[in-house]
Amino acid sequence: MNHLNMYAAKQERYEKMEYHRVGRSGLKFPAVSLGLWHNFGSGDSYDNMRAMCRTAFDNGITQFDLANNYGPDSGSAEENLGRLMEDDFRLYRDELLITTKAGYHMWEGPYGDFGSRKYLMASLDQSLRRMKLDYVDIFYHHRMDTETPLEETMTALADIVRSGKALYVGVSNYDKEYTEKALHLLRELHCPFIVNQRRYSIFDRKIEEDGVKSFCKENGVGIIAFSPLAQGLLTDRYLHGIPGDSRIARDGRFLHESDLTKERLNQIKRLNELAGQRGQTLAQMALSWVLKDDEVCSVLIGASKPEQILENISAAYRADFTQEELRAIEEICGSISA
């Protein structure tokens, strides 16, 4: 080991970040968390990953969020996190929240997908080996499975906590009906179910429309929001066309050129003007908007370089909106449906 390059986290890392209680649990999330969905795969620069994670932790981001299939290739984000743990973060394990999920396709055959007990337990064992960890802080079921009895999935989560391989459990992409059923089952099993991870942004209000946001608040379950920047639409990236290095140009799996309609671009431009009036970038305002009330305890950001993390962190300190600003956002977004 080259001791000259050993990472020492900044002493002042906790001075500015806000930490929000997750539901009625004893756990707190940083207002901004780092997702390893993109840019931590097998084809990405390890040095850049390392710089991003160091920047995040040096500025109070204590949560790294993963899933078994993050990459590409599937599993590679967890493998890279394992390498980062060995190189930089082993000494800081007790200061970190490391989360992973299972629910989408991970390996061939009938046991590598959805919500069976066999899949969930095997997947977490694989994830722990890749990440070089004894446990994760939160293990999520990644999506609803209408064919597997929910009792089986929830009992598996409870047994995983009892085994010591996860401290808490969560669900991701669960609607209100499934969240309510999961909550009932897990409370009967005395399992610490604390969080639902859902997509939420100025452009995507489904968790308000389907009642999940208010249900979780009323029942002591936290919400962590992913895609708060609408896969990059709520940034200044597309104000003047589609850059060659943008997510639309490079990937096209989750964000398509057809998503950037004339009407949508007009919304983005108007929101960008409003953000400027607030002294923020559009990305900062979009994150601040998600954090504007206490129903969302953290926003998950993705990043391709450390500078983006620094820009986005500042949104946690500006989650204050006047009624006029909120009305203006609603007026802009009301011009076309999400």
Helices and strands per DSSP (H, E), number in the chain: 12, 10
Using one digit for the tens of pLDDT, what is the confidence trace for 51-97? 999 999 999 999 999 999 999 999 999 999 999 999 999 999 999 99
Measured in degrees and rounded to the nearest 5, phi and psi for residue 112 equal -115, 30
Mean pLDDT of 226-242: 89
Using one digit for the tens of pLDDT, what is the confidence trace for 152-167? 999 999 999 999 999 9
pLDDT at 294: 87
Q: Please enumerate in sequence order all residues whose Cβ is within 8 A of that of 93, keeping only pairs 6 or more positions apart, or say none.
A: 85, 133
Say how far apart CA 222 and CA 298 lie, in whole Å: 9
Say how far apart CA 256 and CA 328 lie, in whole Å: 27
Say how far apart CA 47 and CA 128 lie, in whole Å: 22
pLDDT at 338: 43
Mean predicted lDDT score pLDDT of the chain: 93
Mean pLDDT of 183-203: 98
The answer to whether 290 and 278 have CB atoms below 8 angstroms apart is no
pLDDT band at 117 (very low <50, low <70, confident <90, very high): very high
Coil, helix or strand for 56?
Answer: helix
For the chain, how far is it from start to end, CA to CA, in angstroms?
Answer: 51
pLDDT at 314: 86
User: Poorest-confidence range of 68-77, 142-151, 252-261?
Assistant: 252-261
Cis amide linkage into residue 72, ω under 30° from 0: yes
pLDDT band at 334 (very low <50, low <70, confident <90, very high): confident
Nearest residue to 100 (alpha-carbon basis) of 86, 74, 109, 208: 74
Q: Which residue has the tokens 């999920």?
A: 101
The DSSP secondary structure of 189-214, one letter per residue, reads: TT--EEEEEEE-BTTB-HHHHTSHHH
Mean pLDDT of 187-193: 98
Mean pLDDT of 163-189: 98
Mean pLDDT of 2-25: 90
User: Poorest-confidence range of 152-161, 241-250, 268-277, 312-321?
Assistant: 241-250
Say how far apart CA 118 and CA 95 lie, in whole Å: 31
Could you give the C-alpha distances from 87 to 5, 46, 75, 84, 214, in angstroms and in order? 10, 11, 19, 5, 41
Mean pLDDT of 275-281: 95
Q: 51-62 burial, b for 16+ CB within 10 Å, e for fewer? A: ebbbbbbbbbbb
pLDDT at 243: 62
Q: What is the pTM of this model?
A: 0.93
User: Poorest-confidence range of 126-130, 245-249, 253-257?
Assistant: 245-249
Could you give the C-alpha distances from 232 to 144, 181, 226, in angstroms and in order? 26, 33, 12
User: Poorest-confidence range of 81-90, 94-103, 245-254?
Assistant: 245-254
**Residues forming a β-bridge with 198:** 225
The answer to whether 276 and 269 have CB atoms below 8 angstroms apart is no
pLDDT at 240: 80
Q: Where are the domains of the chain?
A: 15-240+284-319
Say how far apart CA 330 and CA 47 lie, in whole Å: 41
pLDDT at 252: 58
pLDDT at 337: 46
- 25: region left, alpha or beta (phi > 0 left; psi from -120 to 50 alpha): beta
User: Poorest-confidence range of 23-27, 310-314, 326-330?
Assistant: 310-314
Higher pLDDT among residues 129 and 261, named by residue: 129
Using one digit for the tens of pLDDT, what is the confidence trace for 285-315? 999 999 998 899 999 999 999 999 999 998 7
Say how far apart CA 206 and CA 122 lie, in whole Å: 32
Measured in degrees and rounded to the nearest 5, phi and psi for residue 125 equal -60, -45
CATH of segment(s) 15-240+284-319: 3.20.20.100
Q: Please enumerate in sequence order all residues whose Cβ is within 8 A of that of 115, keeping only pairs 6 or more positions apart, or say none.
A: 103, 141, 143, 144, 145, 148, 150, 152, 153
Could you give the C-alpha distances from 314 to 12, 18, 52, 60, 61, in angstroms and in order? 16, 10, 16, 11, 12
Q: Please enumerate in sequence order all residues whose Cβ is within 8 A of that of 62, keeping only pairs 6 or more positions apart, or say none.
A: 17, 30, 33, 95, 96, 97
Higher pLDDT among residues 229 and 252, named by residue: 229
